[in-house]
Structure 1
Amino acid sequence: MTAVVCFVLLLSLVAGSHAWRCVEGPTLNRAIQIDASKGQVVASTAYNQNFFLTGVSWTYLHGQRMKHITTGDTGTWGVTSNNQLYKMIGGNFTRVPGLSLSQVDAGGDGFLVGSTGSRAYCLRTGFARAFKGAGSVSWSALPAYSLKYYSCGLYGCWGVDTIGRVYHTRAVYSTNCGQTGWQVVSSSPKMKMVEAASNGLVFALSTDGKVYLRAGIYASRTQGTAWSNIPMCVAMRHLSYDLGRLWVVSNAGMIMFCMH
């Protein structure tokens, strides 16, 4: 039985309002990472090649190769295998001088966030939108926490530290990267990444490749109440959510999208 059939059969049998149905997405050889925002989907492969989804096929993004790519309100950004940051300007990736990052997320409302692998940073709106290839940018460091993955959405920002604990802050302000204070959300299961969507949904991926949705999130309770597992037939390595589709990449490099 193929992995695709396995996904469809399993998820079609999950009863109740929390059922998700997954189908195979457009084929991309050895995909490792995916990011979706405002109708756009980008992905990177094990060869550090980067692609943009056009209809049902992937369009290759020529130029600098990225190990991690993201798209959002501030544009399309990526980091290379040696942790250099780039922004796409005029169809080409342009080097952003300064801070070295291992992961970057453009899902915030006008600002950019990223991690060095042990510490998180924020780039306020004025710098993120205005950078056109010349000059420098100034990052604001997040004190105290060793966050290796950082993502922002409708109800604030979320992060995962180096030992798998999840953190949340209700708000990060785009004009100055000021924050309301971070709190530990959960230490079980241990997570390796968390993704906050523009509609308020929050997904996470555990260290053993299981997919979770944060239940009970509302405007008045932005941390939610518990992690709810979304069953998958195989272990996953990355995920992203946008416009009703949960995009997942398996450890084997297969891309799926799931709908509620």
Structure 2
Amino acid sequence: MSVRLVILLVHCLLGTGLAMQCKEVSGRLKQIDAGVGQVFGVSENDEIYTLYGGTWTRLPGALMHVTVGPSGVWGVSSNNNIYKLVGANWVQVPGLLKQVDAGGDQFISGVNMVDDVFCLLREHTVGYKGVGSPTPWTGIPGKLIYYSCGPNGCWGVNKSHEIFVRKGVFPAACLGNTDWQLVAGKLVMIEVGTDGSVYGVNAVGDVFRRDGISACEPVGTDWTFLSECGKSKHVSFDLGHLWVIAVDDRIRDCVV
């Protein structure tokens, strides 16, 4: 066996998660989202928390899903109302969604109660201040239960757990310029990091990372199973940290 082949094999083994170190973090959350150096989450009782100085700090209000990214901090409540954090206050945004994502290039995306997919252009996302601000949501063809965007495109999963990617998505054209591309695999949730990395969870709680993603290859090449994460229900990645919510709401911080 050549020296070059040995080096490649070692590199591949290290890339499958052997170098990942996970530790349990105090607290319990049902959903978590990390982006632009911040971490937010919500508890089983819809209490909202952010990680500040290594301690979970509770914020006012109640949300069932929260997201943070280049678009700011957004969330949706149990009755599907949409909110944006403006200053220290949650300001309601017209529309209804069950899941929202702020990971796009200053545009918002999400899905509603009947799995319709929407996005809001950067000019309306960043500029939204409250009553009177325009919110012309753009409908995206297709049905998804979860939708997340990053710099190289948007990923989603449908109720059959099929995985799709949408390319050509830009701040002023969040609809994209291509149709959905089916990706091999099955997941129940998927998250795109602000660096373009993609992680997801399947129906039995296994966590996967999409490898080979780049600006030239936004779909990537294959999936890597991350056994170190244990049985999980939600993940989010930012700045080298994969935040994992276990099936019993325990929180893990895995350094990638």
TM-score (norm 2): 0.90
**Residue in 2 that maps onto 1:21:** 21
**Deviations 1:178-232 (CA, angstroms, capped at 9, x unpaired):** 312221112x3x2111111122211111111110001222222111111110004
**Residue in 1 that maps onto 2:162:** 165
Q: Given that residues 249 and 256 in structure 1 are in contact (C-alpha distance below 8 angstroms), is that contact kept between their aligned partners in structure 2?
A: yes
Q: Given that residues 189 and 201 in structure 2 are in contact (C-alpha distance below 8 angstroms), is that contact kept between their aligned partners in structure 1?
A: yes
**Residue in 1 that maps onto 2:36:** 38
Q: Given that residues 36 and 42 in structure 1 are in contact (C-alpha distance below 8 angstroms), is that contact kept between their aligned partners in structure 2?
A: yes
Q: Among 88, 91, 109, which residue is 1:91 paired with?
A: 88
- 1:233 CA displacement: 6.3
**Distance in 2 of aligned mates of 1:127 and 1:76:** 14
Higher share of residues assigned strand: 2
- 1:17 CA displacement: 3.5
Q: Among 32, 54, 74, which residue is 1:77 paired with?
A: 74
- 1:78 CA displacement: 0.6
**Distance in 1 of aligned mates of 2:228 and 2:201:** 11
**Deviations 1:78-98 (CA, angstroms, capped at 9, x unpaired):** 10001100111120111112x
Q: Aligned residues: percent identity?
A: 37
**Distance in 2 of aligned mates of 1:173 and 1:220:** 15
Secondary structure of 1:41's match?
strand
**Deviations 1:70-125 (CA, angstroms, capped at 9, x unpaired):** 1111211110001100111120111112x210000000001000111411100001
Q: How does 1:58-137 map to 2 (within 5 A)?
A: 58-62=56-60, 64-97=61-94, 99-117=95-113, 118-135=115-132, 136-137=134-135
Rate the CA distance shift 1:151–1:233 in 2: closer, same or farther, 3 A.
Answer: closer
Q: Among 200, 206, 209, which residue is 2:205 paired with?
A: 209
**Distance in 2 of aligned mates of 1:17 and 1:115:** 32
- 1:238 CA displacement: 0.5
Q: Given that residues 229 and 254 in structure 2 are in contact (C-alpha distance below 8 angstroms), is that contact kept between their aligned partners in structure 1?
A: no
Q: Given that residues 210 and 232 in structure 1 are in contact (C-alpha distance below 8 angstroms), is that contact kept between their aligned partners in structure 2?
A: no
**Distance in 2 of aligned mates of 1:130 and 1:176:** 16
Q: Among 136, 146, 150, which residue is 1:138 paired with?
A: 136
Gaps of 5+ in 2: 1-12
Q: Given that residues 229 and 244 in structure 2 are in contact (C-alpha distance below 8 angstroms), is that contact kept between their aligned partners in structure 1?
A: no
**Residue in 2 that maps onto 1:5:** none
Matched positions, count: 239
Q: Among 246, 250, 254, which residue is 2:242 paired with?
A: 246
Instruction: Tell me which amino acid in the other structure corresponds to 2:223.
Output: W
TM-score (norm 1): 0.88
**Distance in 2 of aligned mates of 1:178 and 1:22:** 37
Moved segments of 4+, more than 2 Å:
15-18
Gaps of 5+ in 1: 1-14
**Distance in 2 of aligned mates of 1:233 and 1:111:** 30
**Residue in 2 that maps onto 1:10:** none
**Distance in 2 of aligned mates of 1:185 and 1:225:** 10
**Distance in 1 of aligned mates of 2:214 and 2:69:** 23
Q: Given that residues 67 and 73 in structure 2 are in contact (C-alpha distance below 8 angstroms), is that contact kept between their aligned partners in structure 1?
A: yes
